[in-house]
Chain A
Amino acid sequence: MAILLLAILLTLTITSLAAYRLYTILQPRSKPNKQWSPQRKRGERTHLLIVLGSGGHTAEMLSMLSRATSETTPSHRLNWSDYQFRTWVVGAGDSISAQRAKDFETSLAVKAKTETAGAVISTVPRARKIHQPILTAPLSSLRCMLACCVVLFQHSRTERGFPDLILCNGPATATILIFASLLLRFLDVGGCQREGKMRTVYVESWARVKRLSLSGRLLVWVVDRFLVQWPQLLEEGVCKAAGKGEYLGVLV
């Protein structure tokens, strides 16, 4: 009985401490704010992580990056060489996405004079396969979460470091990866929270015209920037409640 009571007390204490901690890690970065952003000069060591999610998600992500890196106005053009290290995350068995990431890097190596050596492709098990029964989904999601933690952490002791920026557009894997980054920041693993690592940019799929995706609904609360590609999505209650959401035109 005493053990049970102790367990309950301990759980309560941990929960409230955790809630407070979560509050503090989400609070300062929840609004884009120059003072909280790290300040960098171009050419400094930087690490960008991009999540590809198979099918339409991959197509949209690469379309968006191709467009941004080939904008004709220099002030609007994404400079690939600003990101010395890139990590592409793909789901296990998704060889098409991995190939498309490689093709993109190769084309940029010629055009933007970047080193393809700066890019690595990391594979994580799928959160949920198509047609997988819903019952086993928690288990496979947990496995995916662990793998995501490893992907985020694996280079932290090397020159690459933690990702500075995570860019994703909505597959389940990306949602889990973002929550993995929160967990690492929550525990301040390797000083990632203190050093302002793993800022997050979420772009809702262009295919979402009238309603946000489930990923969007979950992530709007925790990401640093939340972009939509159809303006009417900003009217959704969850965007208003989270006080987040930007429409900058079609990005794909």
Chain B
Amino acid sequence: MSGKPSKTCFVTIGATASFDRLIRAALSVDFGKALESHGYTDLRVQYGKDGDGLFDACLRHARDAGTSTLNITGFDLDMDGLGQYMKQAKGQGIKGANEGVVISHAGSGTILDALRISVPLIVVPNAELLDNHQVDLAQALAEQEYVVYGRLNNLAQALDDAEALRKRHKAWPPVNSGVHRQARGLKGVMDDEMGFLD
């Protein structure tokens, strides 16, 4: 290993559905080049329980193409959750590491995990899912500048956008203002219903 500071891109497709197109896009030669140009050293992919064959094939293809110095690793699922991988992408607990990025499917759990540790996040909705409300969530959060909306045919662009997002980072959760502050949120509702009158 050289003395170059490490910088990790963590890609996750979630536990429920497969998302082959995201795995392919993340391991494409072009995206590899984009990662290197932004100083990334590591690419880690959570590819799901049926994704190992595809991952291996893509990895071979990327190696055959030659020039990449990226350290590419992958795993199917982790029952302990994705916290440790998110932290690696955040650069937490690793000496001399730079903050990287997380690229995720649009599942709300994964999005929340990334927002909570405030690592830059690129959300790529899976167009193949039925009843696709995940697109709406990704769009709404991108409009509010919490995440970057990533497109499969142009992940490199999303990576540029994520670098910009890193600079004007917004904290999660948003501070509820005005009337919502008075309403005491979930506690207020539960107290009302329980009849705690104090």
A in complex with B: yes
Residues of A near any B CB (own CB < 8 A): 32, 34, 37-42, 46, 55-56, 58-60, 63-65, 67-68, 71, 75-79, 82, 96, 130, 164-165, 167, 199, 201, 203, 205-211, 213, 224-225, 227, 230, 246-252
Q: Smallest CB–CB gap between B105 and chain A, Å?
A: 11
Contacts of B112 in A (CB 8 A): 59-60, 63, 206, 252
Contacts of B188 in A (CB 8 A): 76, 248
A55 partner, pick from B15, B79, B113, B174, beta carbons under 8 A: B15
Contacts of A64 in B (CB 8 A): 186
Instruction: Judge whether A165 and B193 touch: CB under 8 Å.
Output: yes
B187 partner, pick from A68, A211, A230, beta carbons under 8 A: A68
Residues of B near any A CB (own CB < 8 A): 14-16, 79, 107-110, 112-113, 116, 133-134, 136-137, 139-140, 173-174, 176, 180, 183-190, 192-198
Contacts of A42 in B (CB 8 A): 196, 198
Given A59-B110, A199-B193, A252-B112, 13 more pairs with CB closer than 8 A: A42-B196, A42-B198, A55-B14, A60-B109, A63-B109, A67-B173, A71-B185, A96-B15, A206-B108, A209-B137, A210-B133, A248-B183, A248-B185
Contacts of B189 in A (CB 8 A): 201, 225, 227, 246, 248
Instruction: Judge whether B184 and A37 touch: CB under 8 Å.
Output: no
Q: Smallest CB–CB gap between A47 and chain B, Å?
A: 10
A82 to B79, CA, bound (A): 31
Query: Which A residue's beta carbon lies closest to that of B113?
Result: A59
Q: Smallest CB–CB gap between B172 and chain A, Å?
A: 9
Instruction: Judge whether B174 and A249 touch: CB under 8 Å.
Output: yes
Instruction: Judge whether B196 and A250 touch: CB under 8 Å.
Output: no
A206 partner, pick from B137, B139, B190, beta carbons under 8 A: B137
Instruction: Judge whether A250 and B176 touch: CB under 8 Å.
Output: yes
A164 partner, pick from B116, B194, B197, beta carbons under 8 A: B194
A37 to B196, CA, bound (A): 9
Instruction: Judge whether B186 and A251 touch: CB under 8 Å.
Output: yes
Instruction: Judge whether B184 and A76 touch: CB under 8 Å.
Output: yes
A252 to B198, CA, bound (A): 25
Contacts of B196 in A (CB 8 A): 40-42, 82
Instruction: Judge whether A68 and B186 touch: CB under 8 Å.
Output: yes
Contacts of A252 in B (CB 8 A): 108, 112, 173
Contacts of A225 in B (CB 8 A): 189, 192-193
Known contacts A68-B186, A76-B187, A207-B137; decide if A201 and B193 are in contact (CB<8 Å): yes
